[in-house]
Amino acid sequence: MCGIVGGICKKNITSVLIDGLKRLEYRGYDSAGVVVLSADNELHRARAAGKVVNLENNIKEKKIPLDGTVGIAHTRWATHGEPTSRNAHPHICNHTVSVVHNGIIENFLELKAAQEVDGYTFTSDTDTEVIGHAIHQHLQDSESLLEATQKAIQTFEGAYGVGVVSPKDPGRIIAARSGSPLVIGISKKGNFIASDQMALLDITKDFIFLEEGDIADITLDSVTIYDKDGKQVEREIKTSKLKSGQTSKRGYDHYMLKEIFEQPQAIRDTLESRITKDTVLSSAFGHKAKDIFKKTKHIQIIACGTSYNAGLVAKYWLEDIAKIPTHIEVASEYRYRNPIILEDTLFITISQSGETADTLEALKAVKKRSKDKNIHTLTICNSAESSLTRESELTFLTHAGPEIGVASTKAFTTQLVSLALLSVAVGRCHKQVSKQQEATIVDGLNRLPGLIKKTLEQEDQIKELAKTFKDKFNAIFLGRGTMHAIAMEGALKLKEISYIHAEA
Ligand code: GLU
């Protein structure tokens, strides 16, 4: 899932779109594109494989006239079809509907077959193209682009965040989300959409976070939102505390390196207001936490990737410290099978973004299937305004700050810190943790930032050591107990970053 930016403003929108795409580059992508609706009501498009700078060069070299106040843009991470310029978004249907899409339309083959019968031609190999055709088809019997999009999305299965523009209904953008995040940026200069508020921080700090199933009708001076049942709803405008500079590399060569060095502060921030010198504050997990923890007889953790590895460490801690039977499973397995949900389970999801699709779906499935079983839900995540925080009863935020690097670093260590606090908090509710044990754990956590700082001061020696590993083809990480999970995280990190085969 990659990046979406769009907007309607008083001036030419192109630079806003291109800047927004650049701000989303950190997420990784394979191609980029932009569509602008010109003053003469035509859709003008530029696309390129590779970096946003290739797109800019393309616009300049081909003199593509991107001159208009309404537009949408996309950075793509291919799921269906090669990462080529013809598959890059936005896609256009019959010069009439243009779409950018994050996510996957799972029933696209079925829709495509029917659309081909109806005479639609496909110019890409993406699943996304069916969205444009479906909206085009519904435009024939709809009063507006909004109505056509509302009808079209009824036919989609899968996950999507979409932005739609059309010369048939100029001066507006339709935005819809289901399973992929989408925010609306509100400003005096105009109204904007993005898959991530980072894209718009230079323009505005005021955001509406669309909820699951929401569809928004956006013009220069209005934003109207309808929920999944088509009912008009009010969504609060929230002021973001993020600073646009938080996404810069601040002199480091890479975001990942910067974030490794931010760990001491990130951990300090995560601990702040949650502990005293020797105790964990029970309110740290929310005012309902104490009652819920007391009733908890089982814990089920669901997560993916790095968050799963953090959860594996927590399984050892929760059983050892809190003495609560704890199970952990990868979300992408859990959501597709029929797991037995025990009564009085605390269901914990862990995710940096709070938007991990499999984890979110697993949580929703559990909530649906386990009514009357005294199931409670807690999410440990790094984003206050996320789907997981909205879906969970209890939220514990890791205050790691934005993590731009694709390989998780400070998010992982702050997750571990959070899970250590949780183990103590749950254990104390079950009278399993002595004052002395709690004080020792809290003291250890308090010393952690200093110890990490000291470790990072050995950067030069670490660089020297890395030279002896850099040309190897295989690596094995060894560990027992909680260190087994850490070995798994080490192997994952090495694979992600160096493409050296690694196992734990
Ligand atoms: N599934 C779409 C494609 O392959 C969108 C991918 C994305 O989220 O970037 O084009």
Residue 88 alpha carbon to ligand 1 centre in Å: 8
Spatial neighbors of 109 by CB under 8 A, at least 6 apart, are none
Ligand 1 atom nearest to CA at 76: 9
Rounded mean pLDDT, 263-287: 87
pLDDT at position 31, please? 95
Residue 453 and residue 264 in contact, taking contact as beta carbons nearer than 8 Å: yes
Instruction: For ligand 1, say whether the CB of 126 is within 6 Å of any of its atoms.
Output: yes
> Ligand 1: which of 25, 27, 75, 80 to mutate, most ligand atoms within 8 Å of CB?
80
Mean pLDDT along residues 22-36: 88
What atom in ligand 1 is closest to the CA of residue 89? 10
Question: What pLDDT, on a 0 to 100 scale, did the predictor assign at position 386?
Answer: 84
Confidence of residue 369 (pLDDT cuts 50, 70, 90): confident
Please provide the size of the chain in residues. Answer: 504
Q: 29 CA to middle of ligand 1, Å?
A: 10
With 0-12 / 13-18 / 19 or more C-beta atoms within 10 angstroms meaning exposed / middle / buried, residue 385 is middle
Please report the atom of ligand 1 found closest to the CA of residue 1: 8
Of 6, 2, 3, nearest to 173 by C-alpha is 6
Q: Looking at residues 6-24, what average pLDDT do you find?
A: 95
pLDDT at 246: 65
Confidence (pLDDT) at 1: 57
Interval 276-303: pLDDT, tens = 888 998 778 988 999 999 999 999 999 9
Give the confidence band of 489 by pLDDT, cuts at 50, 70, 90. very high
Q: Ligand 1 test: best mutation among 111, 128, 129, most atoms within 8 Å of CB?
A: 128
Q: How does residue 371 score in pLDDT terms, banded at 50, 70 and 90?
A: confident
Give percent of the chain with pLDDT exceeding 70: 99
Number of the ligand 1 atom closest to the C-alpha atom of 79: 4
CA of 2 from ligand 1 middle (Å) equals 7
Q: How does pLDDT run across 52-108, given as a tens digit for each residue?
A: 999 999 999 999 999 999 999 999 988 899 999 999 999 999 999 999 999 889 899
Predicted structure pTM score: 0.74
Q: Which atom of ligand 1 is nearest to the CA of 101?
A: 5
Ligand 1 atom with the shortest distance to the CA of 104: 1
pLDDT tens for 444-473 read 999 999 999 999 999 999 999 999 999 999
Residue 215 burial (CB count, 10 A): 23
Distance 126 CA to ligand 1 centre (A): 7
> What CA–CA distance (Å, rounded) separates 463 from 499?
18
d(CA 423, CA 317): 6
Q: Which atom of ligand 1 is nearest to the CA of 180?
A: 8
Q: Where are the beta strands (DSSP E) in 352-399?
A: 376-381, 394-397
Q: Is 128 in the pocket of ligand 1 (CB under 6 A)?
A: yes
Residue 297 has a pLDDT of: 97
> Which segments of 287-369 are extended strands (E)?
298-303, 326-330, 345-351
CA of residue 70 to ligand 1 center, whole Å: 22
Give strand pairing partners of 232: 226
Q: Would you state the pLDDT for residue 25?
A: 82
Among 31, 82, 87, 89, name the best residue to mutate to test ligand 1's pocket (greatest count of ligand atoms within 8 A of Cβ). 89
Distance 80 CA to ligand 1 centre (A): 7
Report the separation in Å between the CA atom of 23 and the middle of ligand 1, taken as the mean of its atom positions.
18
Residues 6 or more apart whose CB falls under 8 angstroms from that of 466 comprise none
CB 149 near ligand 1, within 6 Å: no
Q: Is the pLDDT of residue 499 over 80?
A: yes
Give the per-residue pLDDT at 425. Answer: 96
Mean predicted lDDT score pLDDT of the chain = 94
Q: What's residue 404's pLDDT?
A: 85
Residue 318 scores a pLDDT above 60: yes
77 CA to middle of ligand 1, Å?
Answer: 6
Residue 278: the pLDDT is: 87
Task: Using the mean position of ligand 1's atoms as its centre, give its distance from the Cα of residue 249 in Å.
Answer: 27
Is-contact 300 403, C-beta < 8 A?
Answer: no
Testing ligand 1's pocket by substitution, the residue of 77, 157, 355 carrying the most ligand atoms inside 8 A of its CB is 77
User: Is the CB of 77 inside a 6 Å radius of any atom of ligand 1?
Assistant: yes
Q: In the structure, what pLDDT confidence band is assigned to residue 245 with cuts at 50, 70 and 90?
A: low
Domains, the chain? 3-247 (3.60.20.10), 255-457 (3.40.50.10490), 459-504 (no CATH)
Cβ atoms 172, 164 nearer than 8 A: no
pLDDT at residue number 472: 96
- Cβ–ligand 1 distance for 104 under 6 Å, the answer yes
Quick one: which atom of ligand 1 is closest to the CA of 3?
9
Share of the chain above pLDDT 90, in %: 83
Ligand 1 centroid to Cα of residue 196, in Å, is: 16
What pLDDT does 13 receive? 97
Whether 396 and 380 have beta carbons less than 8 Å apart is answered as yes
pLDDT band at 249 (very low <50, low <70, confident <90, very high): confident
Buried b (16+ CB within 10 A) or exposed e, 317-350: bbeebbebebebbbbbebbeeebeebeebbbbbb
Please report the DSSP string for 260-309 in residue order.
HHTHHHHHHHHHTTTB-SS-B-GGGG-TTHHHHHHH--EEEEEE-HHHHH
